[in-house]
C-alpha cells in the first residue's frame, strides 16, 4: 500500500488528492481523457491511498473537490488577473506576475525551479486581501504567520505545498531554507528524517533582499498602496471563489502537465538567474506563446540589476582587462603583474581606493577557471591562445562585460 500526495506516471495518467465527501481526502485518477474519484486505486499490484494528514493541516489547506471546464488558457488567465486586480487595486506590474505565479504553483512539480516571489509590503500597504486571495487560488496553499520560526521538517512538505509566509528579519537560516526549497531533490535533515524541501512560495517582507542569490534569486516586486480600501472577502464569497477556481485550475493541471517546456521567447536575453525565474513563471502557460511572453518586461529590470552587480565584481573587472587585451594587443603573453596594473587602473577609474595584489588577481583567475603558467622571461601569467580568448569571451558575456566596441555602439 502506497500513501501518496499525488503521482504523475509515465503513461500520462495522474493521481491527485481531492477533498472527499466527508472531512478526509480521496484520490482522483486521470487517464488522459477522463477522471474517476475513489478512496483508493490499484495500479500494477500497488494500492494507492491518500496520505495520512493531521486534521489541523487539512483545516489550514484547501483541496479541490472536483474538476471544471476552464475554457482556454487565455480565458482562465484573464479571470485570475481580474480577481488579483480587484484584491490589490494596483496595476499590471503586480497583477500579471502574480497571475503567472498562481498558474506555476499548479505545475510546480513539472518545473526545474520552484516558483518563488518575494513581495515587499511596506508599512503603507496591507497585504491581507492579497494573501487571502492567493490562499484560495494557489495549489495547496499553506500560510505561515512568521516563516522565521518554522522548520521544514515540521511543515507538510510531503504535500509539496505553496508556502505563503511573512518574514520580518530574514536570518541566514531562513535564507538557507528558502534556497534549499528552489530545486528538486534538495533534502533537509533533522531528527533522523530527510525532507524534500522543494515547494512554491511567496514571501511577504518589509524590505528587499540584500543578497538575492542567498535565497535562490526569487522574483522581487513591490506591493504599492491600494487606490482604495479593499475589505476582506466574506466566508461565503471566499468559498465560492475557492470552489470555482480550484476546480478549474485542477483541470488545467491535468490537461497541461505534459505540455510544460521551456518558454517560447528567447531565454538567452537573460542572465542565468533570470532564465530560471522566466522558466518557473512562464513555462506553465501552455498553448499561448503571446501570453507567455508578457512576463518578459517584468523580468528585464531585475536582469539589468544583476548584470550591473556582476560587472562591478573583481572577476568581471579581470575579464574586462583580459577582453581588452584579446582585442587590442598582438602580444599573447599577459603576465599577472601587468594584468594587476590594469585591474587597479580600472578600479581607480571607478572611484575605488583599495588596490589588489597580483596574488589576488591570480586567485581570481583560478576562480574563473584559468590556469597560469610560466611565460617568456620566467614571469607567471596567461598565454592568450585562441581557445583561451574564446573562453574569455564566453565568461565576459556571462558576467555582462562588454567590449569597447559594444560600449561605444550603445553610447
* CATH classification at residue 114: 3.40.50
User: Do 282 and 338 belong together in one domain?
Assistant: no
Could you tell me if 170 and 247 lie in one domain?
A: yes
* H-helix or E-strand spanning residue 116: strand 116-120
Which of 154, 94, 83 lies closest to 118 in space, CA to CA?
Answer: 94
**Residues 279, 10, 25, CA angle at the centre, nearest 5°?**
85
Whether residue 239 sits in one domain with residue 143: yes
Domain contains 26 = yes
Residue-level pLDDT at 2: 93
* Residues 180 and 257 both lie in one domain: yes
CATH number at residue 359: 1.10.10
pTM beyond 0.85, yes or no: no
Q: Report whether pLDDT(153) > 70.
A: no
**Which pLDDT tens digit goes with each residue over 111-142?**
999 999 999 998 888 889 999 999 999 999 99
Q: Are residues 330 and 200 in the same domain?
A: no
| CA distances to 3, 44, 142, 204, 219 from 47, in Å | 9, 8, 28, 40, 40
168 is in which domain, residue-wise?
73-299
Do 317 and 220 have their domain in common? no
Q: Which tens digits make up the pLDDT trace of 161-179?
A: 999 999 888 888 888 888 9
Residue 411 has pLDDT above 50, yes or no: no
Q: Examine the domain organization and report whether 257 and 342 are in the same domain.
A: no
Q: What is the DSSP letter of 95?
A: H
Cell digits for 344?
587597479
Torsion angle, CA of 30/32/33/37, rounded to 10 degrees?
A: 0
Same domain, residue pair 86 and 156: yes
Query: Are 119 and 44 within one domain?
Result: no
338: part of which helix (H) or strand (E)?
helix 336-349
Number of structural domains the chain divides into: 3
Q: Are residues 283 and 162 in the same domain?
A: yes
Per-residue model confidence (pLDDT) at position 157: 86
Q: Would you say residue 175 lies in a domain?
A: yes
If pLDDT is split at 50, 70 and 90, which confidence band does 404 have? very low
pLDDT at position 164:
94
Is 60 inside any structural domain? no
Residues 204 and 176 placed together within one structural domain of the fold: yes
Please report how the helices 296-311 and 92-105 are oriented relative to each other, as an axis angle in degrees rounded to 10.
100
Taking phi first (over 0 means left), then psi (-120 to 50 degrees means alpha), and beta for anything else, what does residue 367 get? alpha
**Which region among 135-139, 149-153, 192-196, 268-272 has the lowest average model confidence (pLDDT)?**
149-153
Q: Is residue 304 part of a domain?
A: no
Amino acid at each position: 500500500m502506497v500513501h501518496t500526495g499525488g503521482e504523475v506516471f509515465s503513461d500520462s495518467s495522474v493521481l491527485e488528492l481531492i477533498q472527499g465527501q466527508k472531512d478526509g481526502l480521496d484520490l482522483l485518477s486521470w487517464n488522459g481523457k477522463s477522471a474517476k474519484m475513489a478512496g483508493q486505486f490499484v495500479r500494477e499490484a500497488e494500492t494507492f491511498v491518500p496520505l495520512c494528514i493531521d486534521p489541523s493541516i487539512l483545516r489550514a489547506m484547501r483541496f479541490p473537490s472536483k474538476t471544471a471546464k476552464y475554457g482556454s488558457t487565455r480565458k482562465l488567465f484573464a479571470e485570475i488577473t481580474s480577481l488579483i486586480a480587484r484584491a490589490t487595486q494596483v496595476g499590471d506590474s503586480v497583477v500579471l506576475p502574480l497571475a503567472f505565479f498562481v498558474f506555476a504553483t499548479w505545475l510546480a512539480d513539472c518545473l526545474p525551479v520552484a516558483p518563488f516571489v518575494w513581495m515587499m509590503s511596506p508599512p503603507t500597504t496591507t497585504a491581507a486581501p492579497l494573501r487571502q486571495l492567493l490562499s484560495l487560488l494557489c495549489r495547496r496553499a499553506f500560510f505561515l504567520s512568521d516563516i522565521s520560526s518554522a522548520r521544514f521538517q515540521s511543515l507538510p512538505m510531503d504535500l509539496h505545498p505553496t508556502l505563503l509566509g511573512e518574514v520580518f528579519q530574514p536570518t541566514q537560516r531562513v535564507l538557507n531554507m528558502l534556497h534549499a526549497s528552489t530545486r528538486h531533490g534538495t533534502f533537509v535533515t533533522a531528527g533522523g528524517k530527510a525532507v524534500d524541501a522543494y515547494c512554491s512560495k511567496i514571501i511577504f517582507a518589509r524590505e528587499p533582499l540584500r543578497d538575492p542569490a542567498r535565497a535562490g534569486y526569487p522574483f522581487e516586486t513591490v506591493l504599492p498602496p491600494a487606490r482604495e480600501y479593499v475589505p476582506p472577502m466574506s466566508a461565503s464569497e471566499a468559498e465560492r471563489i475557492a470552489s470555482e477556481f480550484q476546480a478549474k485550475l485542477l483541470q488545467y493541471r491535468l490537461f497541461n502537465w505534459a505540455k510544460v517546456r521551456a518558454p517560447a521567447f528567447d531565454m538567452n536575453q537573460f542572465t542565468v538567474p533570470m532564465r530560471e525565474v522566466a522558466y518557473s513563471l512562464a513555462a506553465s502557460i501552455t498553448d499561448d506563446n503571446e501570453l507567455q511572453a508578457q512576463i518578459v518586461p517584468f523580468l528585464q529590470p531585475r536582469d539589468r540589476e544583476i548584470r550591473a552587480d556582476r560587472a562591478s565584481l573583481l572577476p568581471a573587472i579581470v575579464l574586462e582587462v583580459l577582453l581588452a587585451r584579446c582585442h587590442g594587443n598582438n602580444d599573447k603573453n599577459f603576465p599577472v603583474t601587468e594584468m594587476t596594473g590594469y585591474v587597479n587602473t580600472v578600479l581607480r577609474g571607478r572611484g575605488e581606493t583599495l588596490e589588489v595584489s597580483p596574488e589576488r588577481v591570480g586567485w581570481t583567475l583560478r576562480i574563473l577557471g584559468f590556469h597560469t603558467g610560466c611565460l617568456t622571461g620566467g614571469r607567471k601569467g596567461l598565454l592568450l591562445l585562441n581557445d583561451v580568448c574564446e573562453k574569455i569571451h564566453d565568461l565576459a558575456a556571462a558576467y555582462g562585460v562588454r567590449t569597447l566596441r559594444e560600449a561605444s555602439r550603445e553610447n
